[in-house]
Structure 1
Amino acid sequence: MTTAPGSLPGSPPPPAADHHGQRVLILGASLLQVPMIRRARDLGMRPVVVDMDPAAPGVCLAEEFHAVSTNDIDTVLDVARAHDIHGVATVGTDMPVRTIAAVAQALGLPGVSPTTALTCTDKAVMAQAFADASLPHPAFRTVSGMAELEEAVAQIGLPCILKPLDSSGSRGVIQVSSADQLPTALDYTRRVTRDVSPSGQVLVEELLTGPEISCEVLCIAGTAHVVALTDKATTGAPHFIETGHTQPAVLDAPTTAAVTSLVQDTVEATGITDGPAHIEMILTSTGPRLVELGARMAGDFVASHLVPLTTGVDFIGLVLRQACGEPIDPPMPRPQGGAVRFLDAPQGTLVSFRGLTQAHGLPGVREVLPLARAGQRIGGLHSSTDRVGVVIAQGKDHDDAARICEAARNLITVEVQP
C-alpha cells in the first residue's frame, strides 16, 4: 500500500495562506519535489514546474509544466521570463542549484549567488572554501590522472576516498584501502566524472571515521537556524550509500553546540545568507568535521517528509515564501521521532514487492513507497538511485521511530529474478 506522494497520513495539513496567485518556478517533478509542488498550491501559489521527464509524478500537480532539463539554464530562464515568476526553488537535489542562482540573478529574485551556487555544487571549490575559512574538513587534493593520484595518496595516506567533483547520491564515490586498488578506483570515479566534467578531475579526500550526521538548516539574514539534526546510516565502504535517516540525532550538549557553531561558520564561508542548507558532518574523535553541503533542502525524503513529521515546522512552506521575497520568522522546532529506511535488492529483474500492505499497517508507519517497478533491471547497490523502496515512520523519539521503521522494512520482501 502507498499513500499519495507527498501526503503524510495522520498529520493535519498545514493551514493554507493566500499568496495572491504568485507564480513560483519549481525545478524538478520527482517524488522529492511533489511535496513542494503540493505545498505551493496549498499556499495559493501557482507552481510552474520544469523537469526533463514528462512522466514524472509531479507533472500532473503543476499549473504549468515544461519538459526542460533543470540544468538547461538558458531554457529555464526563458520559462521563468515567460511566466513572470515571483520566486524559484527546489528540494532534494543539487542539480538545479546553479540554475536557481542564474534565474534569481537575472530576474532580481531571492536566491544564492552564482558564486555560492558553484561553491556548493563543485566539490573541489567547496573543499577549498572550507580550507580558506580554516573549517575542520578532510585533507584533499584534486587530480586528473594516475600520476597525480599517486602523489595525492602519498600526502593524504590510505585509506582515502575518491569522489567526482559534480555529482550526488554517492555516484562515483569509492574508498581506496591499498595502492593496488588505485587504478580500478580511479576508473570507477572517472566514469561518473566524464559524464559531468570535461576535465575528468577527481577529488581525493582523507577518510574520516565516526558517526555521520546531517544538519537541516534555514538561513535568514545571515543567521543559520538549525531545523533538525539527522543521524545517517550508510552501507559503509566502499561506496557509503545512505540506507536510512533518523531524527532527532542523538547528541550530547557539547557536541550539539559544536555542530551548531560549525553550521554558522559554514554558511558564512560559502555565502549562504538566506534560504535552505543541508550540511553533512562526521563526528570524529577530535570533534565534528565537514563532509560537504548543499545550498538546498535535503533529499532522501528528509526535508520533504521527515522534517515535517519530527519538528512540526512547515520547512517547505518557509522556503517557498522566502523564495518569493516574503519575510519569514525563524522556525521553532518541536522535536519528535522520525525515521526513513530504504529497501535494496540483489542484482536481477524486479518481479514484485511482497508485504507492502502489512508494513503500511504498522502503527506509526506514514509512507511505504516503491521506487522501482516490476520488470526493471536491478544492478546492485552502487549509488542512491539503486535503492528500490522507502519506508517512513514516526515515533515518540529517535529509538521508537527507528524501531517502527525497521520493523516495517523487515516485513517487505523484494522479489528479484536472477
Structure 2
Amino acid sequence: MEANRHAPTKLLVLGAGRQQLALLDAARKRGLVVVAVDRDPSAPGFRLADRRALISFEDEPALHRLAEAERIDGVISPANDWSVGIAARVAHRLALPHPLDPKTAALAGSWLKQRERFAEAGVPHDAWLGDGPEVTVQAFSLGGELHALSGPSGAAALAARAAAALGIREGPTSTRIRITARGPQVIELAARVGSPEEVEVVRVATGVDLNALALKGALGEPIEPVELPARPLAA
C-alpha cells in the first residue's frame, strides 16, 4: 500500500479509552492525522482524534477495511494485548511498516503461547499467584537489543531474554517479573508501552518518551541509538 507523499501522515490507533490517552495526545502534538477506533461512543480519547470510528479494536475485518479506506500510514495498539496481533496483521497485509511481524505479535498476545515459548527457550517464568514482590520492566528494543528503562538489573536481563524468546527485535515491551527465592521469574510480557503512569515515570526518570518512540516504530521512522540508554541488553 503506497501512501501519498504529500498527504499528512495518518495513524490508526486501536482504542480510545483512558489507557490510550497519553499516546493519542502525543500523536496529536506531533501533527499526525489520528484515526481512533473504539466501540464506546463516549471514549475519552475520541476528543484527541481527527477521525473517529465506532468499531471494536478486536474486529479485525472491519479494522482492515477502515485502514485501507483511510489510506493510513501506520497502525498501533497502545494498551490492549490481543489487538497487538491485529495491528501487526493489518499492517502486514497492507504492506505498512510495523515493529512486529504477525507471528511474533501472535506469540506476544497470548499468555498461553508465551509460557509455552518460555518453557522451550528455558526462560524462567512463574504462575500468577507466586510468592515474592513484582516489578515491571519498561523497555524498547532496537535492532534486537533491549534497552531497559526501568526495573532492577536482574529483572531487566530476564526481560531481554523473554523478548528474545518471543522474537521481539523492535519496539516497546512491558514485562512483569516476580522476584522469588529462585530468582526473577517472568509473569508476562506485553509487546506495547506500559500504562500511562509507567510511561510517565520512565520519562521523568530517564528523559525517554516511550510514546514518541512507539509512534516512530509504528510509522517505520528511524530511531537513533542516542535516543535510548547507552548500554543495551542483548539476549
Q: State the TM-score, normalizing by the size of structure 1.
A: 0.51
Aligned with 2:82: secondary structure? coil
Q: C-alpha offsets along residues 104-141 of structure 1, whole Å, 9 cap, x if unaligned?
A: 21112213222222212222111100000001113xxx
Q: 1:266-285 maps to which residues of 2 (within 5 A)?
A: 266-285=162-181
The answer to whether the Cα contact below 8 Å between 1:130 and 1:137 also exists between their aligned partners in 2 is: yes
Name the CA shift for 1:60/1:282 in 2 (closer, same or farther; >3 Å). Answer: same
- The structure 1 segments of at least 4 consecutive aligned residues displaced by more than 4 Å after TM superposition are none
Structure 2: give runs of 5+ residues left out of the alignment.
Answer: 1-5, 230-235
Structure whose residues are more often strand by fraction: 1
How far apart are residue 80 of structure 1 and its match? 0.7
Structure whose residues are more often helix by fraction: 2
CA distance in 2, matches of 1:106, 1:32: 27
CA distance in 2, matches of 1:96, 1:207: 26
Select 2:69's aligned residue among 77, 82, 103. Answer: 82
CA distance in 1, matches of 2:132, 2:93: 42
How far apart are residue 300 of structure 1 and its match? 6.0
Q: 1:155-304 maps to which residues of 2 (within 5 A)?
A: 205=127, 207-229=129-151, 251=152, 256=153, 258-299=154-195, 301-303=197-199
Map of 1:379 onto structure 2: none
Identity, % of aligned positions: 33
Map of 1:65 onto structure 2: 52
Select 2:25's aligned residue among 21, 38, 42. Answer: 38
How far apart are residue 207 of structure 1 and its match? 4.4
The answer to whether the Cα contact below 8 Å between 1:93 and 1:299 also exists between their aligned partners in 2 is: no
Name the CA shift for 1:208/1:38 in 2 (closer, same or farther; >3 Å). Answer: same
What is the Cα-based RMSD across aligned positions, in Å? Answer: 1.9
Aligned with 2:157: secondary structure? helix
CA distance in 2, matches of 1:274, 1:20: 27
Q: C-alpha offsets along residues 361-392 of structure 1, whole Å, 9 cap, x if unaligned?
A: xxxxxxxxxxxxxxxxxxxxxxxxxxxxxxxx
CA distance in 2, matches of 1:226, 1:259: 9
Q: C-alpha offsets along residues 15-51 of structure 1, whole Å, 9 cap, x if unaligned?
A: xxxx972101111111121111111121121111111
Q: State the TM-score, normalizing by the size of structure 2.
A: 0.88
How far apart are residue 319 of structure 1 and its match? 0.7
Aligned with 2:44: secondary structure? coil
CA distance in 2, matches of 1:289, 1:280: 9
Which has the greater radius of gyration?
1
> Number of residues paired by the alignment?
222
CA distance in 1, matches of 2:192, 2:42: 24
CA distance in 2, matches of 1:38, 1:207: 35
